[in-house]
Amino acid sequence: MLYQIYETQRSLMEPFADFAQAAAKLYSNPLSPFSQSPFAQRVSASYDLLYRLGKDYEKPAFDIATVDVDGVGVAIHERVEVDKPFCELRRFKRFSDDPATLAKLKGQPVVLIVAPLSGHYATLLRDTVRTMLKDHKVYITDWKNARLVPLADGEFHLDDYVNYVQEFIRHLQGIYGNCHVVSVCQPTVPVLAAVSLMASRGETTPLTMTMMGGPIDARKSPTAVNNLATQRSFEWFENNVIYRVPDNFPGAGRRVYPGFLQHTGFVAMNPDRHASSHYDYFKNLIKGDDASAEAHRKFYDEYNAVLDMDADYYLETIQTVFQDYKLVHGTWEVRSPEGRIELVRPQDITRSALLTVEGELDDISGSGQTRAAHDLCTGIQGAEQHHLEVKGAGHYGIFSGRRWREMVYPQVRQFIQAHEPAQSSRGKATQAAASPAAAEAGAQPAVTAAPAPRARRARRAPRKA
């Protein structure tokens, strides 16, 4: 019933939001007689803020048209590579008419970025994708809004998430021989499970796993997110946050954890910060600070765009990751697409290098939660396990913004490049010592990292061009 009430309220607010937008333009347009009033700028700012608070936020676009590769503009074509009921594997294919640049692009590593399915769209990782496109062939999991998935497409469980990741890895392996996997926040857990199951079956596993700010062991340094999950029972979540999608959506009748409830929770974590941000936006509009106002719009266009999650997936994640800690206890069993029940054993991973990344000030995944992956992956040689702590970085800072670009990415790039099988051990060692990535990493006193990864002998099938 709550979902229907929310949708009714949103529909009623829509014309008022449209009016506020029109009024804001009316009072700010220099050709309008209303703009001649001494209070015009203040009135326009007030209406603009009302519009921003009342409008409906739809899924943003990645909007990555070009990237710069060593001074050469490379065009980006975004396309869906694999379309699943609840997720699209999206590729950012790069094009260039410069022969030297094209040759370089063809030989670069292949990276699967597994985006979070925890409220926001995959576009939250836009900066991550844009940065990595300079040196990698990039694919990303673009999760669908559950309210747009018809009931006829079936249910979606945490097991299905794990199976999706395995399918995407195999897809890239079939094209290129192998790939690297980067998981950000929530997907660190199902990605580790997916690779563990592949290793247990004797399948080829990704060359590297980079895990950033995720709840591998949510018992360590618990945050407000962890505390909410432990203070409430499974039944409480099922009875209080799960609703059915209204009739005006394709997924009508599907049980979901609605996006608007998630957004309310996001805001409730830091209400003062959001109130201050909106007030600063109002003042910037009055002062005519267009750059600051536009930065505010871009952030909240992304932050306020949320999706519904299938109820089965959400509830199983709460129970498996935050209440029963099945991964760290070694009791997590996953059902394969064929119906087999398989135990998740991270200790079976032996042929994938591991890099974990944490932010010193992360208030979503506390200190030590991601690093715990090293304690589970005992089959990976010590020289192939690395950890990076980013001083002064919060949760978003490790995958977006200046700290990501200047402190985290150079070391992620170096880690991936050092484990590319196309290079000889001598070539990899030389590049690790002489590359800009190594120089940048060494020049950052704010980052605590393990030594550069040991070069490994090529052991995978040759990659296709």
pLDDT per position as a tens digit, 332-371: 999 999 999 999 999 999 999 999 999 999 989 999 999 9
Beta-strand pair 385-390/137-143: unpaired
Contact status, residue 140 vs residue 180, Cβ threshold 8 Å: no
Residue with tokens 């519009």: 51
**Strands of 72-83's sheet, edge to edge?**
66-69, 72-83, 87-95, 137-143, 110-114, 180-184, 208-212, 353-359, 385-390, 447-449
Q: Confidence class of residue 270 from pLDDT cuts 50, 70 and 90?
A: confident
- 26-30: Cβ within 8 A, 24+ apart: none
Closest CA to 166 of 183, 187, 147, 191: 191
| Chain centroid to CA 142 | 9
166: number of Cβ within 10 Å: 21
As a whole-number percent, the residues of the chain with pLDDT over 90 amount to 78
Q: Confidence class of residue 175 from pLDDT cuts 50, 70 and 90?
A: very high
Average pLDDT over residues 119-135: 95
Closest CA to 55 of 23, 1, 19: 19
Q: Would you state the torsion angle of the CA atoms of residues 453, 457, 460, 465, taken in this order, to the nearest 10 degrees?
A: 80
Average pLDDT over residues 386-404: 95
User: Residue 461 has what pLDDT?
Assistant: 39
The b/e string for 378-387 (b: 16+ C-beta within 10 A; e otherwise) is: eebeeebbbb
Distance, CA of 42 to CA of 54 (rounded, Å):
18
Distance, CA of 321 to CA of 189 (rounded, Å):
8
Closest CA to 197 of 354, 345, 378, 375: 345
Distance, CA of 13 to CA of 389 (rounded, Å):
44
Closest CA to 216 of 387, 404, 342: 387
Distances (CA, A) of 452 to 150, 339, 373, 385, 415: 48, 41, 19, 10, 7
Round the average pLDDT of the chain to a whole number and report it: 89
- Evaluate if residue 156 carries a pLDDT over 60: yes
Phi and psi at residue 244, to the nearest 5°: -95, 145
Q: Would you state the torsion angle of the CA atoms of residues 294, 78, 112, 68, taken in this order, to the nearest 10 degrees?
A: -60
Position 333, amino acid = E
Average pLDDT over residues 257-277: 88
Q: What is the pTM of this model?
A: 0.86
- pLDDT tens, position by position, 188-229: 999 999 999 999 999 999 999 999 999 999 999 998 888 888
Closest CA to 389 of 401, 381, 380, 397: 397
User: Residue 412 has what pLDDT?
Assistant: 97
- Evaluate if residue 47 carries a pLDDT over 90: yes
- pLDDT tens, position by position, 399-457: 999 999 999 999 999 999 999 986 433 334 333 333 333 333 333 333 334 443 333 33
